[in-house]
Amino acid sequence: MIALDQQSNVSINKSNYLKEKLVNSEIYRNLADIVGVDRVSESNIDRLLYSHDLAPLPKELSIVFKTVPDIVVKPRNADDVSKIMKFAIKHNVPVTPRGGASWSFGGVVPAFGGIVLDMASMQEILEINKENLFVTVEPGVNWKKLYDTLLNKNLMVGAYPSSAYGATVGGWVNTGGVGVGSYKYGGIDRLIRSLEVVLSDGTILNLGCKNVLNNSSGYNLTDLIVGSEGTLGIVTKITLKIFPAPEEIRPTTFVFSSLEEAGKAILDITRTEITPYHISFLDGSHYDLIRKLETNTPKVGAILNVIFSGNSSIIDINEAAVDSIMAKYGGRKTNKEYADHEWNERFFESKARRLGPGLVVGESFCPVSQIVEMIRRSKTVLNKLKMNGAVVGFIADPNTVLFMTYAVTNEQKLVKNLASLALVKKLTDEAFKVGGRPGGFGLLFSGNLKKIHGKGVVLMDDIKSAFDPHYIVNPGKLIESSTRFGVPIPGFAIGAGLNVMAILKRIMPSDKIGKKKHGKK
């Protein structure tokens, strides 16, 4: 149904599919009237640079999806966005909002070209309210900047993404993020007080309650936006609850003989009343890869980081309790320097990319009770696909562990690189088997939506239609993958394709990795 809608509405003239120039310079002039000429660009360079995110999508994919936008616009405020949306609806131009583009699933990559709205241009922190502990920001505010600004005022955001240097607040809302601090404070859904959203028809809505919890009667519309991958509307303002900065943030690190043992220890901690700020784990193979880059990296079986926050004397008590749990599973506590180093490295877990060069990441949520099983399965997948990678992740809440298992690939080799995407599919399969679910879908994996939500997808379809009847807000994502020609790609087809890739990957020789010779001196 949606495919039909889309064919009739999106301004891809059926007979002119291949004749590009969806948007001509008349549209440029119109948009420039709204935001000013220095905030619009349709130069080839800018269009190319706004056609990708972390994922190294091959050029060939642009035949199937029109990943290169026709025009890039940098709105200044909600009014600008509203005007742009009104314009887009009138001319049936797809609009794809974009934040920091630090995700690796192509959520900000257009499927049908059109307008890319660079929301990173709206980066003001509008209000820090100390009396009632909330902060109102524009969507393009960088998490690290927000974190630092609040810390200067002795306040703190609850949780932030492990890509805080690159990620924006709006981006994390739309990808329904969990991250550093989520164990204690919850994911972004638990931190949002209110959202300002511009719908496709240009209506500016205020969802949620700025000052208080929104738990009482009424449909919780803010939660609809969380994890919508920008398909329902354009978020233009976010109010988050904030917290007094803790007296201390104390990272501790434990070395285990294997990740499975660390998994057992994690299960044990999460079954106590102790609530650390953050718990993260990394397999020894991660450090084996890092050692190829930084030779002084010590050899370990696995690393478990437990970070405490709060009053120092209470941390002392909790730390002692965690120490004894760790000792039960053979966890050896490292010194403070090592723990601090690990804590500082929390933003830099993808260094191994240099070894390929290339990296593919599979995100999946699994029950903590199945953590050891999932670790085993993930390692088996890596081995079967003959990939060099590591099982890493963190605990999102006492029931949920987020695996961010990665593998090094070589993006210069088209077939092998595409075949590496099979890792994402295989890890997803394993996650389903242990009762979990994959993370985000982005451009390619929206087929998973039905697997997770079953018939709920029909309802989601209706919700999408209610928010965006003309199907112009980030079309081709989440509800249904669709090629640029308007032909939908069913989930099973992508699944089957990736299974073929997996077989291919198993047949092909294993990946060669290693630091390439540095071209200097």
Partner 1 sequence: MEKSKNKDKKVPEKTEQKPNLVRNKPPHLDDIYACLQCGYCNSVCPVYQATGWESLTPRGKVYLLKQLVSKDSFLDKVVGKKISDYLTGRGKISLEEAINKIYNCTLCSRCETVCHVDINFHEYWEEIRKWMVESGIKPPENTIDMYNNIANKDFKNPFREPYTKRDEWYRDEFKLPEKAIIVYFIGCMTSYHEYQTLLNTLKVFKSANLNFTTLGTDEMCCGAINTMSGQWDNFKKIAEHNVREIEKRGAKYVITGCPACYRAFLKYRRFVKCNFKLFHTTQVVAQLIKEGKLKFSKNFKEKNLPIIYHDPCELGRILEYEGKNIFDAPRYILRNLPGIDDILEFRNNRMDSVCCGGGGGLKAVNYNLTTDITLKKIDEAIELGANTIVSACPNCKAQFSDAVKIKKDKMLANGENLKMKVMDVLDIVAKCL
Cβ atoms 444, 490 nearer than 8 A: no
Taking only Cα atoms into account, the Rg of the chain, rounded to an integer number of angstroms, comes to: 23
- Longest C-alpha distance within the chain, in Å? 71
Give the interface size with partner 1 as a residue count (CB under 8 A).
59
Cβ atoms 260, 375 nearer than 8 A: yes
Q: According to the binding rule CB under 8 A, does residue 102 interact with partner 1?
A: yes
- Segment interacting with partner 1 (CB under 8 A) among 160-168, 211-219, 311-319, 380-388: 160-168
Query: Cβ 462 to partner 1, closest distance in Å?
Result: 32
Touching partner 1, residues 475-514 (CB under 8 A): none
User: If you ran DSSP here, which 8-state letter would residue 245 be given?
Assistant: P
Q: Which is nearer to partner 1, 52 or 333 (CB)?
A: 52
Q: According to the binding rule CB under 8 A, does residue 46 interact with partner 1?
A: yes
Q: According to the binding rule CB under 8 A, does residue 66 interact with partner 1?
A: yes
Q: According to the binding rule CB under 8 A, does residue 236 interact with partner 1?
A: no
Say how far apart CA 502 and CA 418 lie, in whole Å: 10
For 507, other C-beta atoms within 10 Å of its C-beta total: 9
Q: How many CA atoms lie within 13 A of 310 on its CB side?
A: 17
Between helix 371-384 and helix 259-270 the angle, nearest 10°, is 150
SS3 label, residue 117: strand
Q: Which is nearer to partner 1, 299 or 517 (CB)?
A: 517
Helix segments in 177-254, DSSP class H: 182-185, 221-225
Q: According to the binding rule CB under 8 A, does residue 118 interact with partner 1?
A: yes
Residue selected from 52, 190, 333, 451 as contacting partner 1 according to rule CB under 8 A: 52
SS3 label, residue 128: strand
Q: What DSSP letter does each residue of 467-501 carry, written as one string?
A: H-TT--BSTTSTT-EE-TTS-EE-HHHHHHHHHHH
Q: Which is nearer to partner 1, 28 or 347 (CB)?
A: 347
Q: Which is nearer to partner 1, 158 or 166 (CB)?
A: 166
Q: According to the binding rule CB under 8 A, does residue 347 interact with partner 1?
A: yes
Q: According to the binding rule CB under 8 A, does residue 437 interact with partner 1?
A: no
In 368-494, the DSSP E strands lie at: 388-390, 392-397, 400-408, 437-438, 481-482, 488-489
In 59-191, the DSSP E strands lie at: 71-73, 95-98, 115-118, 125-129, 134-137, 155-157
Q: According to the binding rule CB under 8 A, does residue 201 interact with partner 1?
A: no
Q: According to the binding rule CB under 8 A, does residue 226 interact with partner 1?
A: no
Q: According to the binding rule CB under 8 A, does residue 245 interact with partner 1?
A: no
Residue selected from 6, 82, 136, 142 as contacting partner 1 according to rule CB under 8 A: 142
For 387, other C-beta atoms within 10 Å of its C-beta total: 22
Query: Cβ 85 to partner 1, closest distance in Å?
Result: 20
Q: Which is nearer to partner 1, 244 or 514 (CB)?
A: 514
- Segment interacting with partner 1 (CB under 8 A) among 68-76, 271-279, 316-324, 454-462: 68-76
Q: According to the binding rule CB under 8 A, does residue 516 interact with partner 1?
A: yes
Residue selected from 6, 96, 121, 236 as contacting partner 1 according to rule CB under 8 A: 121
Q: Which is nearer to partner 1, 322 or 418 (CB)?
A: 418
What would the two tokens of residue 22 be?
A: 């969806």
Report how far apart, in Å, the C-alpha atoms of 500 and of each of 393, 402, 439, 493 are: 27, 26, 22, 11
Touching partner 1, residues 1-30 (CB under 8 A): 18, 20
The binding track of 280-319 with respect to partner 1, each residue x by CB under 8 A or -, is -------------x--------------------------
List residues near partner 1 by CB under 8 A: 18, 20, 39, 41, 43-54, 56, 58-60, 62-63, 66-68, 70, 74, 100-102, 113, 118, 120-121, 142, 144-145, 152, 163, 165-166, 293, 347-348, 350-351, 353-354, 357, 359, 411-412, 414, 515-520
